[in-house]
Structure 1
Amino acid sequence: MADKANKYPINAPGKYYVDNQCIDCDLCRETAPNNFKRNEEGGFSYVFKQPENEEEVKQCEEAIANCPVEAIGSDGE
């Protein structure tokens, strides 16, 4: 389970975030490309834009469900 205490500061403020458990597998970027990007220097994904519609929320929730290391959270602020 993702921990908001360990989320990357680069995440866009809001509900969704990626924490330091990310293994850079690319799943979230493929599942929700409008919301996740790769930090090239750090080698991890992050939320660059919070969802703005139901489709993006659905994609983010799918990314959470399928993240192999549970690095995506939905309890951020």
Structure 2
Amino acid sequence: MADVKNKVAENIEGVFYVENEFITCQKCIDEAPNNFKMNDNGSSVFVFKQPENDTEKKNCEEVMDSCSAEAIGNDG
């Protein structure tokens, strides 16, 4: 389970976040590209935009639930 105390610094403020225990499988980027992206040097994934509609929220929840590293959290 993701720990809000270990958020990646690049996360935008809001309920969804990625913590620093992630693995670079890029599943979150592939399945929710409107909300997740890799930083410039490829060392971390982060939430760059919080979901703004039901589809984006559903995609973020599905990615969070299927994250094998359990590195995506919802603080809402």
Asked whether the two chains share a fold, i.e. TM above 0.5, the reply is yes
Q: Secondary structure at the match of 1:50?
A: coil
Task: Give the corresponding residue for 1:22.
Answer: 22
Moved >2 Å (runs of 4+): none
TM superposition shift of 1:11 = 0.2
1:60 match: 60
TM-score normalised by length of structure 1: 0.93
User: Could you say what secondary structure the match of 2:64 adopts?
Assistant: helix
In structure 2, how many angstroms separate the alpha carbons of the residues matched to 1:54 and 1:22? 25
Counterpart-to-counterpart distance in 1, 2:33 and 2:64: 13
**TM-score, with structure 2 as normaliser:** 0.94
Letter paired with 1:50: Q
Give the SS at the match of 1:73.
strand
1:33 counterpart SS class = coil
Q: How does 1:1-77 map to 2 (within 5 A)?
A: 1-75=1-75
* Distance (Å, rounded) in 2 between the aligned partners of 1:58 and 1:42: 26
Distance 1:49 1:65 in 2: 18
Q: What percentage of residue pairs aligned between the two structures are identical?
A: 53
Structure 1 unaligned regions, length at least 5: none
Question: For this pair of structures, how many residues does the alignment match?
Answer: 76
